[in-house]
Copies of this chain bind each other. A is one copy, B any other.
Amino acid sequence: MNLISGGVCAAKGFTASGVHCGIRKNRTKKDLALIYSEQKASAAAVYTTNLVKGAPLAVTKAHLSDGKAQAVICNSGNANTCNANGIEIAEKMSELAAEALGISPCDVVVASTGVIGQPLDIAPIAGGIPSLVKQLSDKGGADAAEGIMTTDTVMKEVAVEFTLGGKTCRIGGIAKGSGMIHPNMATMLVFITTDAAVSPAMLQKALSTDIASTFNMVSVDGDTSTNDMVTVLANGMAGNAEIAEENADFMVFMKALNTVTVHLCRMIAGDGEGATKLLECNVSGAKTEEAAKTVAKSVVCSSLLKAAMFGADANWGRVLCAIGYSGADVDVDKIDVSFASRAGKVDVCKGGAGIDFSEETAKTVLSEKEINILVALNDGDAGATAWGCDLTYDYVKINGDYRT
A interface, CB within 8 angstroms of B = 49-53, 79, 81-84, 115-119, 179-180, 182, 221-226, 301-304, 307-308, 310-311, 313, 315-318, 320-325, 330, 332, 349, 352-354, 391-393, 395-404
Kindly provide the distance from the CB of A316 to the nearest chain B CB, expressed in whole angstroms. 6
Contact residue among B182, B307, B396 (Cβ-Cβ distance under 8 Å from A307) = B396
- Are the CB atoms of B179 and A304 closer together than 8 Å? yes
Question: Could you say which of B82, B304, B353 contacts A84, with CB atoms under 8 Å apart?
Answer: B353
Query: Do the beta carbons of B51 and A307 come within 8 Å of each other?
Result: no
Q: Knowing that A52-B320, A308-B402 are A-B contacts, what are 20 other residue pairs whose CB atoms are under 8 Å apart, sorted by A's residue number?
A: A51-B323, A51-B325, A82-B320, A82-B354, A115-B315, A117-B320, A117-B353, A179-B304, A223-B321, A223-B322, A303-B395, A304-B399, A307-B395, A307-B396, A307-B400, A308-B400, A310-B396, A313-B403, A313-B404, A391-B399
Could you pull out 27 A-B pairs where Cβ atoms are within 8 angstroms?
A: A49-B325, A50-B325, A51-B323, A51-B330, A52-B321, A52-B323, A82-B320, A82-B353, A115-B317, A116-B315, A116-B317, A180-B304, A223-B302, A223-B303, A223-B304, A223-B318, A223-B325, A224-B321, A307-B395, A307-B396, A307-B400, A308-B401, A311-B400, A313-B400, A391-B396, A393-B397, A395-B396
Interface residues of A: mostly helix, strand, loop or mixed?
loop
Structural contact, A50 and B116, CB atoms closer than 8 A? no
Nearest to A400 among chain B residues (CB) is B311
Whether A50 touches B321, Cβ cut-off 8 Å, given contacts A222-B303, A223-B304, is yes
Bound complex: CA A301 to CA B224 (Å)? 12
Contacts of A396 in B (CB 8 A): 307, 310, 391-393, 395-396
Complex: A116 Cα to B337 Cα, angstroms = 14
Contact check, A320 vs B392: say whether CB atoms are below 8 A apart: no
What residue in chain B is nearest A49 (Cβ atoms)? Answer: B325
Contacts of A352 on B, CB cut-off 8 Å?
52, 82
> In whole angstroms, how far apart are the Cα atoms of A302 and B115 in the complex?
16
Q: Which has the most chain B C-beta neighbours within 10 Å: A53, A224, A318?
A: A318
Contact of A52 (CB < 8 Å), options: B224, B310, B332, B391: B332
Q: How far is the CB of A395 from chain B (nearest CB, A)?
A: 7
Complex alpha-carbon distance, A315 and B116, angstroms: 8
Smallest CB-CB separation from A180: which chain B residue? B304
A118, A179, A222 — most chain B CB neighbours (10 Å): A222
With contact pairs A180-B304, A223-B325, A303-B223 given, residues A354 and B317 touching in the complex (Cβ less than 8 Å)? no
Q: How far is the CA of A307 from the CA of B352 in the complex (A)?
A: 34
Complex: A399 Cα to B311 Cα, angstroms = 8
> Chain B residues with Cβ under 8 A from A119's Cβ?
354
B50, A400: Cβ atoms closer than 8 Å = no
A304 surroundings in chain B (CB, below 8 A): 179-180, 221, 223, 399
